[in-house]
Each structure stands twice: as C-alpha cells, then as structure tokens.
Amino acid sequence: MAFELPKLPYDYNALEPYMDQKTMEVHHDKHHAGYTKKLNAALENNPEFYKKSIVEILSDLDAVPEKIRTGVRNNGGGYYHHNLWWEQFAPGKGGKPTGSLVKAIDAKFGSFEEFQAEFKKTALGVFGSGWAWLVKDKNNELSLVGTPNQDSPASLGFDPILGIDVWEHSYYLKYQNRRAEYIDNFWQVIDWEVVGKRF
Ligand SMILES: [Fe+2]
C-alpha cells in the first residue's frame, strides 16, 4: 500500500485568523500532497518499504538503498511531519498543556512560559527552511531541537511531541518575513490533548 495523504481534519478556514485559508489550501493540497506523491515515487522500485510505517523508515535511513535515500529522507520527512502538523491543531483550542506533559515541561524548562520562550528561540534560530521540535528521547526526557529541511527527529532517535513548520510556505502569504509573529500565534490553535497523547 502506497502512503496516503491524510484528509485535513477540519475546514481550510478553521484556523483563521492565525492560519489563513489560502496558506492552508496550498500547504495541504500542494506541499503535503507533493511530499506524499514524491515519497511514493521514490519507493516505486522498492515496494517492500510500503509495508513499513513512515517512522520505521525514517528511524533507519541506512536500510534505504543509497540511490533513493535522499528522496526518502526529504519526502518521507515532509510526509511524516505534515501528518503530525495537521493533527496537532484544532479550532478554538490553545491554552496550556495538562497532566504528565505539563509536569515534564515544568521540570525541564521551569514553566510553560519559559518553555514557550525557548521553543520560539529554537524556531527563530532555524536558518532557512526547517522545523523546531519539542521531542522526547527513549528515557522520556524532553528537549528542543531544530532540524533543517525535512530532516526528521525520528532519524535522530527522538519522538516528536510538538513541531512548528518554519518553511516560508507555512507562513509567508499571511506573515511575510514576520516569523516571530507567526510563532506567537501558533499557540492559539494547539490541541494540547493530542500533543499530550504523543507524550
Ligand atoms: Fe510545510
């Protein structure tokens, strides 16, 4: 079975005014669809990889034939990261995490506000295109990582908990060069229940 583009779990305009409808349309229907299509095309002659999950593939890129490895790393990362991306939002959400996640955040960063400040710093520090992530390691320890392009935290041995896409395709139509403002508004649409389950 080839990898499938998941349907957007809400309307294109559901995250307005923080994420605008036009960006959502292009981001899901063009960019995410493009990664999905190119991932499947890269694996066409190695269909045994269709049986693996995308996390299994990205966690062991050495197992991917060298000829297609870069394509799988880029498009597989793009496919996986955007699956996580749509899932972590919902209209009318925001607020703060709860339960074991907020305890772990407080223990690691001091407070939710300090975590937000560090996360923002990481996201602003990604040069060019990439992502910033809150991740956990095998011992459930939280940390922040910035990754270039579509390189995946899964390839570094981490489980992504929360990610922000800082490719310009994610914010340029609405925010132009104002990445900081985009990051500040990102919190308004986070569904912490979904994020908490990942933790
Ligand atoms: Fe994106």
Q: What separation in Å is there between the alpha carbon of 45 and the centre of ligand 1?
A: 27
Q: What separation in Å is there between the alpha carbon of 169 and the centre of ligand 1?
A: 6
> Pairing state of beta strands 159-165 and 142-148?
unpaired
Q: What separation in Å is there between the alpha carbon of 9 and the centre of ligand 1?
A: 16
- pLDDT over 70, % of the chain: 100
Q: What separation in Å is there between the alpha carbon of 38 and the centre of ligand 1?
A: 15
**C-alpha neighbours within 13 Å on the C-beta side of residue 184:** 5
pTM of the complete model beyond 0.75? yes
Both tokens of residue 21? 């409808």
pLDDT band at 97 (very low <50, low <70, confident <90, very high): very high
pLDDT band at 14 (very low <50, low <70, confident <90, very high): very high
Q: What separation in Å is there between the alpha carbon of 5 and the centre of ligand 1?
A: 13
| pLDDT score for 74 | 98
| pLDDT score for 1 | 82
| pLDDT score for 134 | 98
Q: What separation in Å is there between the alpha carbon of 198 and the centre of ligand 1?
A: 20
Q: What does the pLDDT average to over 187-199?
A: 98
Q: What separation in Å is there between the alpha carbon of 107 and the centre of ligand 1?
A: 30
Q: What separation in Å is there between the alpha carbon of 199 and the centre of ligand 1?
A: 22
Mean pLDDT across the chain: 97
Q: Tens digit of pLDDT for each residue in 142-167?
A: 999 999 999 999 999 999 999 999 99
Q: What separation in Å is there between the alpha carbon of 96 and the centre of ligand 1?
A: 24
